[in-house]
Structure 1
């Protein structure tokens, strides 16, 4: 497919991905001059009507959506047996690759991504499209951090049938919902369950359910409770865990009722007001289940009859004989009534007298709420009341202010104690030391305390090796502050400006020093070492470190040099005379001498044009473990090769005659020579009788 043009408009540039149904290529829209992504149905499915329908369904489902967090569809077409969809090209990566690289993700990043996914799902659900395959592989993260939901290959209209097709379940087993696993109807809440699993994976770095086979994973979705995310990653706030647990409830009715509702919860889950949020609790419907197993007493055969008899029985009353009426006498009762009234009158007078003697004074309890403790105590003292003090640590009122009192608004005996609940003031936090930490880490720690970004100001300090490291802070370490009122200031390090390190190898020592000074680099006192070398002449730079050529370096960095101290003591220099003659005497023949020795490798030593037989002189260098090889070429044809070894050098040094050792090339007429030649290195070549060869000696 690479290089092919689809529809005469879309040029396929490279493959960038693929799935079970299609391959994805990066393409170029020749008409609009823009990059596009081209999804092509795999070749093995081009004759499968079911896959073609699913492929077209994806295009129809995505094309009906227009949202910043949904990949846009530009075109759909067919060329021969190639079915393709042209869509928006996203520069970035997939959420799956991001999780593999950085999991667990920062809580803020994970919530930000989940909110955008929920926004995209809300738009799709509003258009009656259920995605049914939400997973990190189908979530693209652009370089600007924007989330794009893609791959509507198995999406269905919200009113369509179940996800089962010809006995199989469509979707990704690690991410689909319990109703998905059972093959029943899926709806909007199934997508929210999958989003909950994606959040779980982003924040813990692992999947909630794993198994040896897809069936075992599906059963876990149906039967097992998920391990709480905070047990895997304690850094997850409780409010965020609550979002995940609610999204992953087994019963759809216990999840969020819509993607919009979940998105609203995500927007506030990191706010300071929710930092102490309790763990979410769900209604346990076990005791309300009419089909649950109960233990009941056995029913006796006559139990119902006995119960009915007991209900029907009526109490029997005893018949009492009528009392015998006696003649009434009014004298005795009258006397007793008079005596009783006299006793009661005496007792009333006595009680009044005693009560007057022991009467206790009562007073109205004054209202001292919102007064300072000192003023409240003064008011209670004036009212002849005492007090006890209780401290209220949750109050936002200033310190030593009365939050409430008990009792209030009633009369009480003089000296009674009134309980005063006094504010401890807004809690204060001690400033920690953030010096030496990155500004990003410091922000996260302060946000965990409830401090907002707008309360933090950052200024640039001095230039350091590592940028964005805190150098100074206000408030200072140990100072107390109120979370809602504090203004925090940090001074952070600036990054050093860098440039590409030039190549100093081959320069003379003075030129290298001048270049180092010009670039504002430093050469340490002991920054130069000298070594014997075959590769560079004496006084030339062999090596530079720790910054090689094209490495990023900043002004003020130290650079060390290794300078050639000439050839090693055991280096052997040989002169080799090579006889050459033209193919046809009187006419020019061009001979090229290529040398490989201890100093150079495949160096074009010289190029000579000769019209008559003559000898060409070649200087080579050998070492105990490196011989010299001279290749003689006429035009592009090898006509001769000569080898010299270190033993040849020793023989020449001791006055012995060195016998020639030519190595003729099969099928090539051998030029006569009077001795083997040894390659010498360098850069450049000579023509018309001229030669070019660098001086001997140098870096290793």
Structure 2
């Protein structure tokens, strides 16, 4: 089926975990999608119930119950069930995804198969089924479509979605299964057990060996009646040359009475392997002429008259007492013991013979017996006629679904009503189809459906719109994540200074909060670079109060260094230095001020009588400046006078020496 671009689940995230990638197939009750498990990073097959089934409380309970039963089963030849849940009105089953093809694909290309190929394919299928039977599960819908063959050669039995736990099996008045492989007891209203699966396996083996199904008909009910009233022919009647052991294996599986079949898949597996070993290479590699491919088998739902709940148990082993005549009729070989295979054949023959006296006792008067048969044939004829009307002209007749895509909803409804089709209106968002226009139908046209089957008329609600979430105050990373969660995206990012917002914080966005946008629309963001930097004010030399006021007025914080310093150029109490002294700062930064203690006071020593060079050196070492006045050329180089002397003066003061 062509996958519609409007499947509302494609691209959706189910239950916060499964991202739907594409649709794989549609079945009688569900759609199967390829999805990615975002938690475990693996692909899964996601089976999603149709919405109208998910709304059926009883059906949903059964779906959940069967999912839990199937999840208990872990076997290399059974498709694993990982998870089950309900997300709104989406009921789903997460299963192992097997990349490859089905047995149906193989039969369409290569049927009939050689016995070697058929037995090799069937062996792992029966092995997986035997594990299910051991766990108390009955599959109920075995068919080539449910045998998965992976690209790496693994074979798995899938779709236990219709299986029911044997200990809780219920007959509800509805027969669910694929009619081509349906055991007769399900048609007549008897509850299914493991032997029902064995029958379906036998029909599947028949088709693998012959390329045909044993029973066919124009309508499903005709095929169902053949399962009840006819005997499955030996495969060699259609393909002369097949080994007799293969005939016996198929006929043993497909006995009309469940008592005639293997008790479960484990018993069948042992016999299948015995047959495989007993056949010669020529018998195993026998190749019949190609047959026309059988059509794909869909699961059918057929009405049944049984309305009761039954608990299925394994059939008890009974001991029968034979009459003397019967015992004498059974040949006894005293010369050698019977082989395992011969013993099984003898057991089946004795079981058939043991039922014959009971059948003879029930024969009664031949005239009465004839009347009963006439009545039975009349009932069967009436049922066939009713089925013919139902499926030919009545509610079960096939009707072509018209292509309503692109039509206004009123016109699309009219087209469906003209065909006598029942439908439900389903509204979906669509990026390309305008509101009120039909997107199509589910299932998609062109297709033929029964008149009584419900369709979904899918009508567009227009593009789905998503509100812009509140982003101001978030970091850029959080804002981007919030947009993705709202099915939007981050657009251009512009940066701007802001005196109040920390760097990296979203200041504003466009479109604004609450604006309704289409999926994936970009929202432009303005992000703060923090406060704008500026040159630090110069306050050196200013009184402490004036300096602090100037800095605080610029938005800076002021700290005073704990130790003041001497400074001969800056008065005491004024700013001797600042840190930082230059460069750029931003509001809120701190500037540290070091205050001046004024110039250092030093006592001037008396240098009178000393040589001028020595006096000048000592005074300079103390931090003074020296000025020399010479009298008569300072011939003797001796200090005769000094100003000032023997008093404290500021460091760096000028000391005048008079030299003669």
Shorter chain as denominator, the TM-score bin is 0.3 to 0.5
Length-normalised TM-score, structure 2: 0.42
Tell me which protein shows more helix as a share of its residues. Answer: 2
**Looking at both structures, which has the greater relative contact order when contacts are Cα pairs under 8 Å and sequence separation is at least 6?**
2
